[in-house]
A = this chain, B = another copy of it.
Amino acid sequence: MENHQIRSTPEPSLRRLARYLDLLHKLQKDGQINISSTQIGSEMSSDPTQVRKDIEYTGIIGKPKTGYVIAELIYAIETFFNWNNVSDAFLVGAGNLGRAILGYGHFKKYGLNIVSAFDISPDLIGTEIYNVPVLDFEKITNLAQRMKIHIGVITTPVECAQEVADKMVEGGIKAIWNFAPVHLKVPDGIIVEHTHLTQSLAVLTKNLHKQFLLDDKFSGEL
């Protein structure tokens, strides 16, 4: 629409960059200083040229023969995602999945700090999960406004997800990370990232199926 369009990075590149970061952290811990696109490619089973193209988006430049300085690359990727500035977030739905996310504890490294959880269950309201207080869902809109929260995580059952999203938007939340298997309807300008485990399962089972066919092992059955 506008002309001063931000040169946007392909989504596959974003996903791969996030994964390079895991590798880089690991190698840094092992004491490695530099890394080449060739090495990243071989560790992650992807093409070196693609790795270089991905890294280009972060703005960092490498050196012939030696590649990239790991520390610089880590910093560049984190800056690229703005993960150095941690944002406070709310989570709604303190069930199993919500609990798992609250317990993960490493999201701060990825720019996300969940400061409160919300639920409707009286048994949960008032408790703490991994030091995060569980509050009454009724209060979310008000609190989101007062605390200027911009990110919301939805880990409720599918039936309540849309209602939760509506309240979040009402409270001024700009980005929703949705784990409930339903497509949320939100106003323009609100970002929704749908993380549905069944999507991954779809890719997995399809590939497995294809592999079986290639193997010819089950060709009688299929």
Contact = CB atoms under 8 A, between A and B. Distances in A.
Interface of A: 2, 6, 8-9, 11, 14-15, 17-19, 21-23, 26, 43-45, 80-83, 87, 95-97, 99-101, 103-104, 107, 110-112, 150-151, 158, 174-175, 177, 181-183, 189, 191, 193-215
A107 B99 CA distance: 19
Dominant secondary structure of chain A at its interface with chain B: helix
Given A8-B210, A22-B198, A97-B104, 11 more contacts: A6-B210, A15-B202, A17-B202, A19-B196, A82-B206, A87-B205, A96-B96, A96-B104, A110-B201, A174-B211, A177-B200
A2 B214 contact: yes
Contacts of A103: 95-96
A97 B194 CA distance: 18
A189 B80 CA distance: 35
A45 to B, nearest CB: 7
Given A15-B199, A23-B183, A183-B44, A193 B207 contact: yes
A191 B174 contact: no
A82 B205 contact: yes
18 contacts: A8-B210, A14-B199, A14-B203, A19-B194, A21-B198, A22-B158, A22-B183, A95-B103, A96-B104, A99-B100, A101-B197, A107-B201, A151-B208, A175-B204, A191-B207, A193-B207, A195-B197, A195-B200
A24 to B, nearest CB: 12
Contacts of A26: 182
B208 A189 contact: no
